[in-house]
Amino acid sequence: MKIGFIGAGKVGCSLGKYMKDRGVDVVGYSSRTLTSAKTAAEFVGTNYFESFETVVKESDCLFFTVNDTGIIDVWNQVKKMDISGKIICHCSGAKSASVFEGIDECRAYGFSLHPISPFSSKFDSYKNIEDACFTLEGASEKLPVMENFLRDLHLSYTVISGENKVKYHSACVFASNLMVALMDDAMNLLEETGFSKEDAKNALAPLILQNVNSVLEKGTKEGLTGPMERNDVETVKSHLDVLDGNTKEVYRVLSKDLLRISKEKHKEKDFKDMEKLLH
């Protein structure tokens, strides 16, 4: 299967490099600017094209590796071309294949393929793709083709429904972006107690890493520690007393989730006082 890319940013470069290194026929890149298409092509070791028409013509499967708002714009151009029999795939986490409005009339097949992996570098993130889990959804007629394609690349994947894409992407945000906000809150609180920014980061690093590893190894219930797990009402109350604004609200809301987990873990304990405190 000949793969073409429209979009030459971090995701496009990373996926193209990973595929090309594993023997996939990556025909080339087209992008909003010729310079970015050329840069991606040189990095991956393939061709670049001045127009979308050329990469569409040369490809059996097209990857739209553009930002979410750009997918429909690109699709509105591509669907006017001869794409009969082709697979059209975007890599948005939140959007489903339904964004390809009118694709059935074009006799083409739409998919979304999203890797659960951060793409921080145009030229290095491809090294992490092998460890990523992908989610796949789209046209049932060509689903076996896409599944075989992923298996041939030795990539793990889960097939989900388009209706669940937004909920799925929310889960990814909880595990990644929102974690950044929590870390920022923790570092700011330590700085208020006298830590330097660097010392705060270094002090929290073992706690963060050990806790994440524990949860991944044991699950959230057995990995839970701290005052909520101990049903330590006085400590939680003291925390709420010194916090304010959004930080206090975040603490309270997440503590309610922790309380639910702790109640599942310790069915014999009486959590009524904690429930009143967090109400």
The predicted structure's pLDDT at residue 10: 95
Q: Is 215 left (phi over 0), alpha (psi -120 to 50) or beta?
A: alpha
- Per-residue pLDDT at 118: 87
The three-state secondary structure class of 28 is strand
User: What is the mean pLDDT for each group of 10 consecutive residues in the chain (279 residues)?
Assistant: 96 97 97 95 96 96 95 96 98 96 97 94 93 96 97 97 96 94 97 97 96 95 94 97 96 97 93 95
- pLDDT in the model for residue 28: 97
The Cα 165–Cα 237 span in angstroms is 38
**What is the rounded CA–CA span in Å between residue 278 and residue 259?**
9
Q: Is 106 exposed, middle or buried (0-12, 13-18, 19+ CB in 10 A)?
A: buried
> What structural domains and CATH numbers belong to the chain?
2-162 (3.40.50.720), 175-278 (1.10.1040)
E strand spans, the chain: 2-6, 25-30, 47-48, 61-64, 87-90, 109-115, 133-138, 156-159
**Which strand ranges, in their side-by-side order, compose the sheet holding 156-159?**
47-48, 25-30, 2-6, 61-64, 87-90, 109-115, 133-138, 156-159
pLDDT of residue 126: 94
- Tell me, what amino acid is at 242? V
Write out pLDDT tens, residues 31-56.
Answer: 999 999 999 999 999 999 999 999 99
User: pLDDT at position 231, please?
Assistant: 95
Q: What is the pLDDT of residues 218-273, one digit of tens each?
A: 999 999 999 999 999 999 999 999 999 999 999 999 999 999 999 999 999 999 99
